[in-house]
């Protein structure tokens, strides 16, 4: 071979490799999810055959939406919330805010029933469009400005995961604090959750479909053993309007943030088989039914724990896990420890669905990330979650309060924009979410109206918010009205700004 030929090959090889890499990482305009079993390596196809999810954020065409187990939209949310996390959340009402149990319970029921409505409505969009929740948001926030709610949603999911991990870790550590630290308990719960979320959609639904049974049995046994103390409630005065609104904002933040994820669990469901109302009802009651009793149970535990010395001491050492230990082990001995392990592992379903949605959120940060397998982003999510959870455990109650106090604000803005876009400007027509433009910035809305309306709401949100680190002048009088302000003001502002935006750009 001549010297000139060698030189030509040397120039071509890097160019060929670069072209192949560029081709691999490029997502074509309007590219949708397609299966290619004949092109996959045998080992990879075997993984897909046993149910491992291949797709990430690409739209799912109608022919690929074949799931007809609609009741799994109930079990996926029912099981993820039938865990320990609602209990310490409810404790904030009585132990942290000083409300009495009756008033706290009424506020929990009212705000839970109200704020489960938006996510239950939004889940229909996944089934009808075949689009992930944050991909649907591109049809209002635009291709690029959607990054802002995308990052906020990922941060919220990480927060929920780490709080669940801390609760699970505390409960495991309560078995033997001298031998098993909270940090080790956190790592154990995170690793099991990682395995579930790694396999994807079918594995998450399968896990949530069946694990509610041991979760419910374990919670019932704990309540049966420790319930005899729940009547020893602290005699707190009637709740003020400020306390009611502040607790309401906390409950709103607990539920309405599901609006950023719900469609991730319905994108493979076949449309036009059952009514949309049935899909709504499955999701609504899946969110509501496990949460309200456990939030109220938490409020009851918080109200009586100052009057039960062993509970107070245990809570100071290992949080809610310590109280559960005092409920179970003195009565049931080693069997009580077994039940305690089941309770600790009940948070796996909560962490798994959060990690799953985090992974598909991260896939949207850069265009070529859509070509990087979801597996990679699950590892990234795990790498972020464990150290953050360990850090949060150092100041557990403060972390929980700070997190729940503020997440409802951005979610109120997000849910208002997405719902009004569909109902008002797209006239309820899900087919207007054209797959051909899901990643084409110039054909999607610019997003200025969505972001502008959200920022406009801050004029009332900031003075109306009440967090441990800041209380606005309006909130000092009314309590926390940040969520209500975010939802209502963003909605009204979006009606006007989006109308103007459509007139300027000439298309929806």
Q: Within 13 Å of residue 448, how many CA atoms lie on the same side as its CB? A: 10
What are 89's two structure tokens? 């959340």
pLDDT band of 20, cuts 50, 70, 90? low
Average pLDDT of the segment spanning 372-399? 79
Task: Report phi then psi at 429, rounded to 5.
Answer: -90, 100
Q: What is the DSSP letter of 501?
A: H
Q: Is the pLDDT of residue 498 over 50?
A: yes
∠ CA 450-453-455, rounded to 5° = 105
Beta pairing, strands 466-467 & 470-471? antiparallel
Comparing 39-43, 279-283, 293-297, the range with the smallest average pLDDT is 39-43
Q: What is the DSSP letter of 431?
A: G
Task: Name the strand (E) or helix (H) holding 466.
Answer: strand 466-467
Give the per-residue pLDDT at 24. 55
Distance CA 210, CA 27 (A): 37
Distance CA 42, CA 44 (A): 5
3-state secondary structure of 208: helix
Instruction: Taking each helix axis as running N to C, give the angle between helix 276-304 and helix 241-256, from 0 to 180 degrees, rounded to the nearest 10.
Output: 130
Higher pLDDT, 216 or 159: 216
Distance CA 458, CA 111 (A): 22
Task: Report phi then psi at 67, rounded to 5.
Answer: -70, 130
Distance CA 220, CA 294 (A): 11
In whole angstroms, how far apart are CA 244 and each of 108, 110, 335, 450?
9, 11, 40, 30
Q: Are 462 and 470 in contact (CB under 8 A)?
A: no
Give the per-residue pLDDT at 5. 47
Q: Is the pLDDT of residue 16 over 80?
A: no
What residues contact 421, with CB distance under 8 A and at least 6 apart?
A: 139, 140, 450, 494, 498
Distance CA 151, CA 147 (A): 6
Give the per-residue pLDDT at 281. 98
**Closest listed residue to residue 266, CA positions, set 81, 124, 432:** 124
Higher pLDDT, 277 or 92: 277
Task: Report phi then psi at 468, rounded to 5.
Answer: -55, -30
Phi-psi region of 271 (alpha: psi -120 to 50; beta: other; left: phi over 0): beta
β-sheet bridge partners, residue 467: 470
Q: Are 243 and 99 in contact (CB under 8 A)?
A: yes
Q: What is the DSSP letter of 94?
A: I
Q: What is the DSSP letter of 92?
A: I
Give the per-residue pLDDT at 178. 67
pLDDT tens readout for residues 247-256? 998 898 889 9
What residues contact 175, with CB distance under 8 A and at least 6 apart?
A: 325, 337, 340, 341
In whole angstroms, how far apart are CA 472 and each of 116, 240, 245, 413, 479?
26, 17, 14, 19, 9
β-sheet bridge partners, residue 268: none
Give the per-residue pLDDT at 18. 58
């Amino acid at each position: 071979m001549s010297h000139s030929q060698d030189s030509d090959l040397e120039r071509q090889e890097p160019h060929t490799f670069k072209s192949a890499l560029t081709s691999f990482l490029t997502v074509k305009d309007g590219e949708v999810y397609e299966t290619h079993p004949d092109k996959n390596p045998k080992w990879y196809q075997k993984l897909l055959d046993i149910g491992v999810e291949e797709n990430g954020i690409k739209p799912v065409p109608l022919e690929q939406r074949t799931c007809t187990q609609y009741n799994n939209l109930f079990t996926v949310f029912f099981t993820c919330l039938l865990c320990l996390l609602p209990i310490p959340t409810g404790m904030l009402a009585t132990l942290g805010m000083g409300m009495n149990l009756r008033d706290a319970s009424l506020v929990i029921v009212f705000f839970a029933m109200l704020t489960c409505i938006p996510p239950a409505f939004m889940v229909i969009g996944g089934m009808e469009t075949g689009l992930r929740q944050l991909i649907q948001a591109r049809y209002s926030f635009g291709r690029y400005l959607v990054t802002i709610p995308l990052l906020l949603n990922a941060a919220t999911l990480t927060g929920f995961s780490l709080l669940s991990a801390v609760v699970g870790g505390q409960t495991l550590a309560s078995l033997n604090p001298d031998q098993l630290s909270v940090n080790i308990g956190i790592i154990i719960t995170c690793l099991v959750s990682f395995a579930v979320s790694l396999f994807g959609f079918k594995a998450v639904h399968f896990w949530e479909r069946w694990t509610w049974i041991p979760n419910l049995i374990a919670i019932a046994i704990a309540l049966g053993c420790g319930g005899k103390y729940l009547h020893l409630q602290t005699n707190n005065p009637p709740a003020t309007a400020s306390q009611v609104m502040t607790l309401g904002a906390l409950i709103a933040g607990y539920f309405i943030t599901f609006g950023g994820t719900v469609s991730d669990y319905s994108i493979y469901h076949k449309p036009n088989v059952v009514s949309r109302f049935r899909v709504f009802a499955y999701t609504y009651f899946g969110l509501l039914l496990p949460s309200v009793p456990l939030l109220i149970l938490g409020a009851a535990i918080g109200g009586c724990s100052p009057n039960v010395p062993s509970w107070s001491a245990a809570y100071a050492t290992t949080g809610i896990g310590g109280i559960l230990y005092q409920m179970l082990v003195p009565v049931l001995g080693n069997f009580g420890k077994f039940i305690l392990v089941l309770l600790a592992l009940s948070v796996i379903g909560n962490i798994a669905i959060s990690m799953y949605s985090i992974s598909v959120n991260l896939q949207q940060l850069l265009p070529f990330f859509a070509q990087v397998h979801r597996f990679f982003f699950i590892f990234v999510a795990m790498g972020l979650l464990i150290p953050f959870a360990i850090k949060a455990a150092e100041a557990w109650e403060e972390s929980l309060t700070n997190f729940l106090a503020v997440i409802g604000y951005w979610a109120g803005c997000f849910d208002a924009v997405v719902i009004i876009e569909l109902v008002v400007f797209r006239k309820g027509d899900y087919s207007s979410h054209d797959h051909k433009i899901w990643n084409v910035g110039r054909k999607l809305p610019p997003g200025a109206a969505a972001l502008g309306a959200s920022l406009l709401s801050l004029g009332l949100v900031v003075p109306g918010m009440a967090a441990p680190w800041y209380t606005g002048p309006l909130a000092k009088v009314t309590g926390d009205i940040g969520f209500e302000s975010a939802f209502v003001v963003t909605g009204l502002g979006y009606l006007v700004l989006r109308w103007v935006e459509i007139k300027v750009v000439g298309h929806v």
